[in-house]
Chains A and B, each alone.
Chain A
Amino acid sequence: MLGPNGSGKTTTLGMLMGVVNPTSGSFSWFGESPSHHTRKKIGAVLEHPIFYPYLSGQKNLELNAMIKGADPANIPKVLETVELSARKDDKYRTYSLGMKQRLAIASALVSDPIILILDEPTNGLDPMGIAEIREIIKKIAADGKTIILASHLLDEVQKVCTHFAVLKRGNLMHMGPVDDVGKGEEIVEVQAYHDDLGILLQEFVGSATIKKENGLFQVMMKDGYHSKDLNRFLFDKGIVASHLATRKKSLEKQFLEILADTKS
């Protein structure tokens, strides 16, 4: 679930999890009308990790398990998943931000839920923390759980998600599979030891637009033309490319386009 800050991602999830009262509309979970019983089957962390600061990680998870009616025997397993076993008896308030985020994921997993909701799980983390959380998410998804991820970090979504939706001021702007992003358009990055490469590339029948970025030429291909056609063209001209790569349009670009389309 994508959207700029303040687009209503957390509010939407808050309504789905019963902490925000909707002014209108309805929703259902698992085909039933929502109640606190359905919430027990979902593991969710909205915005920041929330725990009792004076309780240890272990005790906090025991409390989560009690509320969810989950087997406390799951706790060592989920602590292992998020690599917190060594610190489980320390008070929550002594944890670093990354550990807090990981404990939040552990608490969402403790009832072995069918659905996991994570809201900005990498917010405020350093690159290593982000990579760790991303690995955990992939590991959980590989177990066959559905994960709903709210984020404004598009790179992250593109790396871990299969489907995406874009929200703006509480309205749904777009919905579709992540794989579809940039379909039908191909951008080829090319570099060669040739002074007039830019002029030469314009002669290629398959090029729509050409841009130079960081010393690389980015050729937007016309429909039906691919990197191999460009490669052959250069080879015929007697030029050997030192760099040739196909780039799909990034989710970031598509996202900005979706938001720009609806500006009016």
Chain B
Amino acid sequence: MKFWLTQNRRYLLTEHMLHLLRIDLKKMTSYRTFWVICGLYFLTLGFTTASGMEILKWLASKGAEFGASININRIPLYHFPDIWQNLIWISGLFKIVLAVMVVISITNEYQYRTIRQNIIDGLSRWEFLQSKILTNVLLSLMSVVMILSIALVTGFIYTPTIEWTYFFGGTEFFIAYFIEVFAFLSYALMLGVLVQRSGLTIVLLMLSHMIEAIIKVNVFRSGVEDQIGWLKQFFPLESITNLVPLPFARYALQEIQDYVALGAVAIALGWTVLFNYFAYLKLKKSDI
């Protein structure tokens, strides 16, 4: 009986969350800007990740002009298991586009004051934020599915011999990728709630990495870097970047981190919770 109750409550909870998600999607699906930005995102993401071999060929021809010969067949860009980390690292560069979409979505609510009417109509402030967070989850999941499909197709095309042990090595990068996108979208949502103006929020979003880099340079001067350098990984944007390390140095015979570090996951998840919590605090306290 008790089991049934908890099961039932869980069912109601997900029903309610789906309802909130549908509310936010209803706002977006008739909004042309949403389709244009999402369309551009998925198209460029798809084409870029699928054109790796062409880019390599181009690099090789450029290299040949300078007398360097690159044998592209010896670079297993699209071979299992390299492909997972390679494609996911590249895909991570595109998440800014989705983040801009998230900023537009939330700042529109302030600009049109529809957030006010949503609350008057009977959403709680937490439910309102939840509907936005759930859309972020959906967009992150869609990115994962997109890259997973492209990786599967190109991987099977280019990998000479499929070995199943290799095939599964590195799939944890998809979990890291999901967290990477979702954490960054949470950051964008929080900025939007705090700043409320679309232009200013987008500029701040674009400059975030730069601002964090400047802070790090000034905090970690050469004298103290040895003692407190380990603190760098706790910076919010760096924690997001650290989830999927840059893989391509391995083709220049350098050692790379070809796994997802649990510590990095924990820090990024911590920031994700904080971003959404800060957004909630601001929303709860302000008059709208």
Asked if B122 and A63 sit within 8 Å, CB to CB, the answer is no
Residues of A that sit less than 8 Å from B by CB: 14, 17-21, 35-37, 39-40, 44, 46, 48, 50-56, 59, 62-64, 66-69, 107
The one of A19, A52, A54 in contact with B32, judged by C-beta atoms closer than 8 angstroms, is A54
- B window 99-131: CB within 8 A of A: 112-114, 116-124, 127
Residue of B nearest to A67 (CB): B121
Asked if A21 and B119 sit within 8 Å, CB to CB, the answer is no
Interfacial chain A residues near B288, Cβ < 8 Å: 19
Asked if A64 and B114 sit within 8 Å, CB to CB, the answer is no
Q: Interface stretch among B18-26, B48-56, B88-96, B174-182?
A: B18-26
Asked if B31 and A44 sit within 8 Å, CB to CB, the answer is no
Known: A21-B286, A66-B19. 5 other contacts (CB 8 A): A36-B127, A51-B112, A51-B117, A53-B112, A56-B30
Interfacial chain B residues near A40, Cβ < 8 Å: 121-122
What total of chain B residues lie within 8 Å of the partner, measured CB to CB? 25
Q: Shortest Cβ distance from A178 into chain B, in angstroms?
A: 27
- The answer to whether A52 and B114 touch (CB under 8 A), given A63-B27, A66-B19, is yes
Number of A-B contacts (CB under 8 A): 71
The one of A14, A53, A55, A66 in contact with B22, judged by C-beta atoms closer than 8 angstroms, is A66
Say whether B285 faces chain A, with CB atoms less than 8 Å apart. yes
Asked if B113 and A50 sit within 8 Å, CB to CB, the answer is yes
Say whether B255 faces chain A, with CB atoms less than 8 Å apart. no
Residue of B nearest to A43 (CB): B121
Residues of B that sit less than 8 Å from A by CB: 19, 22-23, 26-27, 30-32, 112-114, 116-124, 127, 285-288
Interfacial chain B residues near A68, Cβ < 8 Å: 121-122
The one of A44, A51, A66 in contact with B26, judged by C-beta atoms closer than 8 angstroms, is A66
A68 to B118 Cα, complex, angstroms: 9
A181 to B286 Cα, complex, angstroms: 40
- The answer to whether A21 and B117 touch (CB under 8 A), given A54-B30, A69-B122, is no
Asked if A67 and B118 sit within 8 Å, CB to CB, the answer is yes
Asked if A19 and B116 sit within 8 Å, CB to CB, the answer is yes
Q: Shortest Cβ distance from B15 into chain A, in angstroms?
A: 12
- The answer to whether A39 and B120 touch (CB under 8 A), given A19-B288, A21-B285, A50-B114, is yes
Q: Shortest Cβ distance from A64 into chain B, in angstroms?
A: 6
Interfacial chain B residues near A59, Cβ < 8 Å: 26, 30
Interfacial chain B residues near A54, Cβ < 8 Å: 30-32
Asked if A52 and B121 sit within 8 Å, CB to CB, the answer is no
A35 to B19 Cα, complex, angstroms: 19
Interfacial chain A residues near B127, Cβ < 8 Å: 36
Interfacial chain B residues near A69, Cβ < 8 Å: 122
Q: Shortest Cβ distance from A213 into chain B, in angstroms?
A: 44
Interfacial chain B residues near A107, Cβ < 8 Å: 121
Q: Shortest Cβ distance from A188 into chain B, in angstroms?
A: 47
The one of B31, B32, B123, B287 in contact with A67, judged by C-beta atoms closer than 8 angstroms, is B123
A187 to B62 Cα, complex, angstroms: 99
Asked if B119 and A19 sit within 8 Å, CB to CB, the answer is yes
Asked if B23 and A66 sit within 8 Å, CB to CB, the answer is yes
Residue of A nearest to B126 (CB): A36
A36 to B26 Cα, complex, angstroms: 21
Residue of B nearest to A69 (CB): B122
The one of B31, B112, B287 in contact with A14, judged by C-beta atoms closer than 8 angstroms, is B287
A55 to B121 Cα, complex, angstroms: 17
The one of A14, A37, A53, A62 in contact with B122, judged by C-beta atoms closer than 8 angstroms, is A37
Asked if A63 and B26 sit within 8 Å, CB to CB, the answer is yes
Asked if A55 and B30 sit within 8 Å, CB to CB, the answer is yes
A107 to B121 Cα, complex, angstroms: 9
Asked if B114 and A67 sit within 8 Å, CB to CB, the answer is no
Q: Shortest Cβ distance from A217 into chain B, in angstroms?
A: 50
Asked if A36 and B30 sit within 8 Å, CB to CB, the answer is no
The one of B22, B27, B119, B286 in contact with A18, judged by C-beta atoms closer than 8 angstroms, is B119
Q: Shortest Cβ distance from B197 into chain A, in angstroms?
A: 17
Asked if B120 and A19 sit within 8 Å, CB to CB, the answer is yes
A35 to B119 Cα, complex, angstroms: 10
Asked if A44 and B120 sit within 8 Å, CB to CB, the answer is yes
A39 to B128 Cα, complex, angstroms: 14
Interfacial chain A residues near B121, Cβ < 8 Å: 39-40, 64, 67-68, 107
